[in-house]
Amino acid sequence: MLTYGYIREATMAHLDIDEEEAQAMNLLARFYTFANEAMQAICGSKPKYRYLDITVVEEFAPLVQDDNGAFLRPATEEELKDETTVYVTDEDLIKDYYHKRNIYLVGELVPMDEKFIAFADKKPLKVVTKKPSVAEMLEAEAFGYKVQQETSRTVEATKNDFSYMGKNQLKFYETGEFFIPVKEFWFLFQSNMSDSEEIDIPVDILMTIPLYIASVCLQIDDMQRAQVKRTEFELALARCTNTDFMDLNTIKQTW
């Protein structure tokens, strides 16, 4: 996996300057800003497609603190039966614990994180349990084998299960596990990143970032070279692949 150091070195190679010159022009400190701008340009046409895995429950399971009080955890069956068990009662702490694990209550508004761009126009899914039919039970009995009492499978989630709300939020009306398709940024760069930090981005997409950063840096005193690098960035981005195996929405009949 390539690192932030590769992006920095590749950018200076495109600029044809060394590190001392980049420091003198105060470019290195701004590389992460330009890299995030590159992410915006890249994800406009080749975003990261992902399913948000969200679990919806009627109520949160009781929480307790560990023996040292260092962290929270769900109460065990023995603790639930023990009348002396002390549960966590702070609602904000309880919500924060479960929300970090993508577990929400029915009717709660589910916000998106900072990498979110938009909801993808793909099929949302939910996990349902299927019980064996009478015919399957009779067949199993006749041939002397066991049949699973419940099996999990995914089906399309409908408007009766959830809604897309304003300000990039979701609201669920049923309990269960849901997979909501979204488009996201591949990565968000920070100002304190070290050269050894690995960047979890497909290599072909990552290699376009130095071209974009170089084009922005060259705008300071060489617009012609800046335009050349920007064209190189656009061509490199067009050659990138962005595989998407998400199911398309079902076209519902109107008759």
3-state secondary structure the chain: CCEHHHHHHHHHHHHCCCHHHHHHCCCHHHHHHHHHHHHHHHHCCCCEEEEEEEEEECCCCCEEECCCCCCEEECCHHHHHCCCCCCCCCHHHHHHHHHCCCEEECCCEEECCCCEEEECCCCCEEEEEECCCHHHHHHHHHHCCCCCCCEEEEEECCCCCEEEECCCEEEECCCEEEEEEEEECCCCCCCCCCCCCECCCCHHHHCCHHHHHHHHHHCCCCHHHHHHHHHHHHHHHHHCCCCCCCCCCCCCCCC
- pLDDT at site 242: 81
| pLDDT given for residue 148 in this prediction | 74
pLDDT at position 231 is 96
Give me the average pLDDT of each 10-residue run along the chain (255 residues).
Answer: 92 88 86 95 93 96 83 90 89 94 96 94 90 76 75 88 91 96 95 92 94 93 91 94 82 67
